[in-house]
Structure 1
Amino acid sequence: MSEDAHGLPPTSSVRRWLVTTNHKDVGILYVVTSLFFLAFGGVLALLVRLQLWSPGAGLLSSMSYNQTVSAHGLIMVFWFLSPFAFGFANYVVPLQIGAKDLAFPRLNALSYWLYLASGLLLGASFFQGGTFAGGWTMYAPLNVPVYTPQIGASTAVLALVLFVASVTVSSVNFLTTMHRMRAEGLTLRRLPLFSWTILLTVWMMLFAFAALLAALVILSSDRLLGTTYFTAKAGGSLLWAHLFWFFGHPEVYIVFFPALGVMAETFQTFTGRRIVGRKWFIAAMVLVALQSFTVWMHHMFLTGINLQIKTLFMVTTIGISLPFDLMVFALIYTLIKGRVRFTTPFLFSFGALMLFILGGITGVFLGAVVLDYEFRGTYWVVAHFHYVMVGGVTALVGGLYYWFPKMTGKMYDRTLGKVHFALYFVGFNLLYFPMFLAWETPRRDFFYDPAFVTEHRLATVGAAILGVSFLVMFYNLSKSLVAGEQADDNPWAYSTTTEWALPSPPPLENFPDAPSFSSGSLRFGRGAADGGERSEATRASSDQLSGGGEQADGLRASSDQLSGGGERSEATRTSSDRRSDGGVVAHGETAGGADNGEDHASIWPFAISVAAFFTFLGLSGFERGELVPGVGGLLALSSLVLGVALGGYSLVEMARERFEGPTGPFGESWPFDGIENGKLGVWIFLASDVVLFGAFVGSYVFIRVAHGWRDWHALVPEAHVPLPGLINTYLLLTSSFTVVLALVAAERKSRRGLVAALAATFGLGVAFLVNKALEWQHLFHVHSEAFPHGWELGTNVASSTFYLTTGLHGAHVVVGLLISLYLLVRAWNGAYLDDERPVEYFGLYWHFVDIVWLFLFPLFYIL
């Protein structure tokens, strides 16, 4: 089976989908996989509705029902909603911003494979005595083994950890791409609205999911190692609520913002008008993204938080609704001023707007402290939540129909599309609206007042109709993919973004030449900025092609025009002639064959994800630091060893692999002009790490204050003295100095100096870990009247916070040592003298680890 010049097999080959790193392929993988999880979560939802046909026990046992409800929520929120949106983001955003691919193609593939591995891990949890059964919010203390003792419950938690790893990799990639790789002239002000929503979504994801990661790591430690964070009598349960909802409320907007972007794009396309008040629409989205981190405690009005704080968060909750009002009115006025075309994508987007309005209004009720006391824990919350979240799904389904012709080159059956919408809209409202009427039904409980039987049976019928609507969609799209009519490159008369100026589907590297908006028009090639020739079809203004202006009729660029037909500049002609090799030029650079073009194939992201699956599956076999007894423990240990070995080998091979990704110069890079992609990626990753450590430090402070700041000392043995921490402080500060010396040596092309400095850094890091291990060993075996069994991880909450927080820092040191060892081996062979950037990136990471220790030392050794 032949491969192209970039090592990619044809799309008909299974191997193509295992090795591809191209953003369009990865986008398709995300969409298809997320639709599988939609079906998975949908089946679980139908089981719940069948159980609720009558009050009391029925189809499922109590534990099975709890697991079904919990798994349905987790799958839909994590494994369907956001990945479905980011399937479109992967495919469309690089096209809209004029990029050939995402900044780090292999990391993009890795993010997908980690996502799939995490979903498979959740599926495996069903076969380990049952999956997690404590609700999708995983409230403490129901999330600890005393109440959810199944091994599968631990596996579900670890699956979420792996999912967050996927999100973090993806976030770094998207933010680097969107801030560094926009086409010339495509400023943030001109960015298409869908890309704007993705940009803001990814910024929210970077920080919100870091807080969730902290909560999940702590929960994993409580379950697997025996720490006592969430079983602490003072503040344990409340700590989980703070950590979870600091993530959980931004997650609502993380899910809804891409849907909002789809609504904005489709409203513009199918009304023939730009969004009314576009700049205010963008400002409102930015304001919501910022405010989303200031409202989390409205989920905690029933806790013991004092009334003044509850009132403050009631105000912020009502405040965040105001920018949404602006956006809703902007969409409505766009409809009023435009000429509506009732296509399938528009119908779903319009339906989403109506559903969201109802969901938003009912949510404002919950923002009032007094009303929240009445509604919390009832089906009013369930109905509101689904009108918002599944309302977002409605718009995303519209996005699937909108971009299906671009992604496949085939047109869907228009009649079946409208049948799908009719069934969907009827089923949705029949399913969720009766829940408002039966709001007194207790949430997550199949016992309810028989007076609400009619409402629940209507909801069950609605669920069946909603499920049938998706069967219509699957049939429509699969039939169209095989035998559908060929789609035009631009099937929509008034589309406003750059992807519609390309063939359907677009070529491997997207553009026939470097796109530019600098002249006020979309142009391609070396002469773009100087007004080179172009076809009539590409003579649309940059405002029109970025959502910034009213759409003209002229944007009907055919594949012939953009791949060789019609008039075009010499640069464009040269590029399209080369496109059979997959090469495109960037601002005049040549990019012909495999020698100087980009690569699109690597097996190592897939291999790393397989290793991660087995590693995390193995970790699930631990409880309180020990393997579960019997065959299960042996299998877990074997899985862990296999995963670690395969992961280590795959990471080294991925690092050694020669892989050419997108290279500059790029176009617009504000506010990161002059910072190349690798450095920006490291900075963005460290920003998320700041939140991770901040959440750990905040958890320590929260629990200590809840326990009593001075009383805390009674939980710590006298043998816990500052000296080991002080020695480690000097070791790390010295290692930061040696890292600086390594960079200086690389810049001066001194191989001996570089090797010596890296070796010194490695040695100091090892000394830090040895000193830490000796300290821990001493504390483990402290024997006194207060601590007859030593001071171990689970002795008390003080030992738990000390070992876990400093242990997380130690894990970062271990990662740094592995990187430094790799750099050392390569430097010994003469690397980094001509390109010192890897040493600089390592230095940024290592300095961050050292700075974190400067905060941990006084907290855990002095105060």
Structure 2
Amino acid sequence: MADDFPPMTSIKRWLVTTNHKDVGILYLATALFFLLFGGILALLFRVQLWSSGGVILSDSAFNQSVTTHGLLMVFWFLSPFAAGFANYFVPLQIGAKDLAFPRLNALSYWFYLFSGLLIGISFFQGGTFEGGWTMYAPLNVPMYTGMEAATGGNTAILALTLFTISITLGTMNFLTTIHRSRAEGMGLWNMPLFTWSWLLTVWMMLFAFAALLAALLLLATDRILLTQYFATDQGSSLLWAHIFWFFGHPEVYIVFFPALGIMFETFQTFTGRRLVGRKWVIIAMVLVAVQSFLVWMHHMYLTTINLEIKTLFMATTIGISLPFDLMVFALIYTMVKGRVRFTTPFLFSLGALVLFILGGITGVFLGAVVLDYEFRGTYWVVAHFHYVMVSGVTALIAGLYYWWPKITGKMYSEALGKLNFAVYFVGFNLLYFPMFLAWETPRRVFHYQEGMEIWHQMATVGAFVFGLSFLIMFYTLGKSLVSGPDAPDNPWQYARTAEWAIPSPPPLENWSGRPSYASGRLEFVDETPAAAPATDGGSPASDGGALTTADAVHGTLDQAHGHGHEEEHADHASIWPFGIGIGMFVFLLGVSGLTPSVAALAEWLDPEWAAEAGISGSVDYLYPAITLAGLAILAYVLFEFGREQFNAPEMAVAERWPFEGVGNTKLGVWFFLASDVVVFGAFIGAYVFMRIYAGWDTWGPVPDHTWAGLLNTYILLTSSFTVILALVMAERGNKKGLIATLGATLLLGLSFMGVKAWEWYDKFLQGDFWFSGLEYSLYYVTTGLHGVHVLLGLFIAVFMLYRIFTIDAYLEDSRPVEFFGLYWHFVDIVWVFLFPLFYLM
């Protein structure tokens, strides 16, 4: 496959590639585009703020610019930019040839790109979402913002939903790869610190983004299907705040941890010494990752939560700052005890440290209940937030300069790089520090009191200086790419991680031999039968090992450039991830415009409710047609994706603790299910929260027929048994038995959906629709999400039966049947929880 792989100068290469380095470059380039997009919006509203009540933008345009700027920077720039580095360098640092699931890696990128295109299109659909990047209820639903701008707002919400799905795919991929594809001898403790920071980042992503996905799905049903999660006064704003900030606070560390990893790497390289207190730093990062899920309510001090709970969360907020103190002091002591070389990457890393310290200290102010009462909703929060988040950007730019020679094979001008840093640092502080002084200005408002004008004008000037620094950066890197001198394999004297032991840029397959740390040093083992394992006393360890000299890195180069034997050749190309991205793009674009048609349906079904709610609409056939077209495209490309023969071999020799006995695909399924537990947990938690808030006895079981729920419980439990029988038949190579048992599972699943359809139809005949009241919204949406999971399982079962009939699949390798069974059992277990909640209580 490598021989037929298109060259990097071909457009086809970038449409079909699944290679982790290519995907990393795509992430980096696309994230920089969204940086420009969000930056231009920022300059627009900074001009608006030159004077109180500025006239450049209308009220709505200002709100759209501020909201989209926040969404783009937090979601479409920061995390994907870090993901670009992770895609490119994590496999190199741990000694892998690629990620565990290359096609899913490409799919994750295409979902990211198309989600960004959706948010761009939303501006042209009557206006995009304008309720702030935190999307607080009830201002996040059309009932309060107006139906005329619903379509653009829907598109923005669906774009973020697709982005969240992209993150979930990437998270599963990286967790599986890092836990099961580390080079021989590389234990977790020995991993490079950037890889460590990314491992903890994706662990946080697995659960945090699942909570955000649940919140967005609930919001999408409110906006498109007119359900009532966030359109009522029955605790809707508190429900949104709980789910959103359960994601939102870990997101701060999700954004900052990769930047922190880059700071660790660059401080080690440019001080010429190992990070002081390395193991304690790792422990501190683990503590922060765990604690990040225990502090979300400090964003909710102004709500009706009682003082005891607020005090508890004030303590957890102070507690989470302590591990950061350790990390900051570790960086300072490393610098003090080393020989600092003030290169461009180190200057940006040092600048990031200085800015983060200021951002962290001002954040502790907000962690105190009394001070938060004063500062919440003001420019103090805006300034603090940017000093933390954009200090992370500063470190990411350090990473761009640090790894640029490795990615491109070209060096850049140090003089231009240092000029870039100087303009950046001045612009940053001129932009954000005056916001502390103008703290009494309400955030997201362009009218401010007399006396604040000078600070806002300084900030606006700073914004343009800050923007200029990025133009200098693009010029510096562009000049390097066009006419820069060739980069050596290791341009930094004390760089010690494995990516510096191979050519710049790295070859397609990364390594010609197998990387190994079995001896405590990096070796490239020639796996040809006639060759003995290659050794070299001058080979480097990972950055957790003992070796630190540049000679050690260069000692591996001859072996890295040698020729090894690969028994199982990996594929690098597939067009179907791109096709699935197009299908999802078209489908979600169609769904975004369904609100008027759904409103017309609601008005027809229940005119009295529609009149009372002020809901009216007319049937528009364009968006339903686009939706159906998207579904048709998805059906075709998913089918071809499933049929494609794609080889992504597991490493024959690797460190796999603590998952030695679990294969890559099975582990990936487990990670997916762990994420789905959080999604269903949020849906069920929303039901419990809203019912308690409204008064548990305000309504009883919504379904009228308990026997229908009980029957469906028996049906699903029986289907779990038939799935187990299907696995037994596959293991025995019994084709007829496998078809019979998998077919029985399919029929039982269809029976479940039939009973559920009858149950819903019976409720409709009684005039109880999904929009008729909060209790009906909770019932239809929660059981509907479960029904979608059942439906997906049925599609998979049909596809598996097709494969069995056509190519006798799963008779020699029964694992796919086992993986399907894991998913099906999970769906059944969820129903065991839903049945008593909705049918008995």
Normalized against structure 1, the TM-score is what? 0.93
Look up the match of 1:612: 584
CA deviation digits over 1:273-323, x for unaligned, max 9? 111000000000000000000000000000000001000000000000000
CA deviation digits over 1:138-161, x for unaligned, max 9? 000000002233110011000011
1:639 to partner: Cα distance: 1.6
- Once the two structures are superposed, the pairs formed by residues 410-809 of structure 1 within 5 Å of their partners are 410-526=410-526, 532-534=533-535, 539-542=538-541, 545-549=542-546, 551-557=548-554, 561-562=558-559, 564=561, 573-575=562-564, 585=565, 590-591=566-567, 596-623=568-595, 626=598, 633-713=620-700, 720-782=704-766, 790-809=767-786
Pick from 16, 23, 39: which aligns with 1:42? Answer: 39
Look up the match of 1:167: 167
Look up the match of 1:321: 321
Look up the match of 1:114: 111
1:38 maps to amino acid: L
1:14 maps to amino acid: I
Look up the match of 1:279: 279
CA distance in 2, matches of 1:558, 1:275: 23
Contact 2:411/2:487 (8 A) holds in 1: yes
SS state at 1:645 partner: helix
1:556 to partner: Cα distance: 4.2
SS state at 1:515 partner: strand
1:632 to partner: Cα distance: 9.4
Contact 1:223/1:624 (8 A) holds in 2: no
1:207 to partner: Cα distance: 0.2
Contact 1:503/1:558 (8 A) holds in 2: no
Look up the match of 1:384: 384
Contact 1:431/1:462 (8 A) holds in 2: yes
> Aligned pair in 2 of structure 1 residues 457, 549: CA closer, same or farther (>3 Å)?
farther
Normalized against structure 2, the TM-score is what? 0.96
SS state at 2:451 partner: helix
Look up the match of 2:835: 857
CA distance in 2, matches of 1:40, 1:725: 50
> Aligned pair in 2 of structure 1 residues 468, 378: CA closer, same or farther (>3 Å)?
same
2:477 maps to amino acid: L
CA distance in 2, matches of 1:245, 1:371: 20
CA deviation digits over 1:16-56, x for unaligned, max 9? 00000000000000000000000000000001110000001
SS state at 2:620 partner: helix
SS state at 1:679 partner: helix
1:535 to partner: Cα distance: 5.2
- Are 1:817 and 2:794 counterparts? yes
1:664 maps to amino acid: M
1:58 to partner: Cα distance: 1.4
1:631 to partner: Cα distance: 11
1:520 to partner: Cα distance: 1.3
1:266 maps to amino acid: T
Identify unmatched segments of 5+ residues in structure 1: 565-572, 576-584, 783-789
Contact 2:100/2:173 (8 A) holds in 1: yes
CA deviation digits over 1:803-829, x for unaligned, max 9? 000000000000000000111111123
SS state at 1:227 partner: coil
Q: Provide the aligned C-alpha RMSD in A.
A: 1.7
SS state at 2:550 partner: coil
- Number of aligned positions between the proteins: 821
Look up the match of 1:786: none
Contact 1:809/1:849 (8 A) holds in 2: yes
Look up the match of 1:145: 142
Identify unmatched segments of 5+ residues in structure 2: 601-615
Deviates more, 1:5-14 or 1:224-233: 5-14
Look up the match of 2:176: 176
1:496 to partner: Cα distance: 1.7
Contact 2:536/2:556 (8 A) holds in 1: no
CA distance in 1, matches of 2:619, 2:3: 44
CA distance in 1, matches of 2:34, 2:653: 37
Pick from 848, 851, 860: which aligns with 2:826? Answer: 848
Contact 2:496/2:553 (8 A) holds in 1: no
> Aligned pair in 2 of structure 1 residues 23, 110: CA closer, same or farther (>3 Å)?
same
Contact 1:274/1:548 (8 A) holds in 2: no
Look up the match of 2:10: 13
1:532 to partner: Cα distance: 3.5
Look up the match of 2:67: 70
2:12 maps to amino acid: R
Percent identity, aligned pairs only, is 64
CA distance in 2, matches of 1:262, 1:328: 14
1:6 to partner: Cα distance: 5.1
Deviates more, 1:96-105 or 1:629-638: 629-638
1:527 to partner: Cα distance: 7.1
SS state at 1:626 partner: helix
1:624 to partner: Cα distance: 6.8
1:528 to partner: Cα distance: 12
SS state at 1:126 partner: helix
Look up the match of 2:816: 838
Contact 1:180/1:669 (8 A) holds in 2: yes
1:450 to partner: Cα distance: 2.2
Look up the match of 1:235: 235
1:531 to partner: Cα distance: 8.2
1:7 to partner: Cα distance: 3.6
CA deviation digits over 1:66-96, x for unaligned, max 9? 0000000000000000000000000000000
1:134 to partner: Cα distance: 0.3
Pick from 20, 23, 28: which aligns with 2:25? Answer: 28
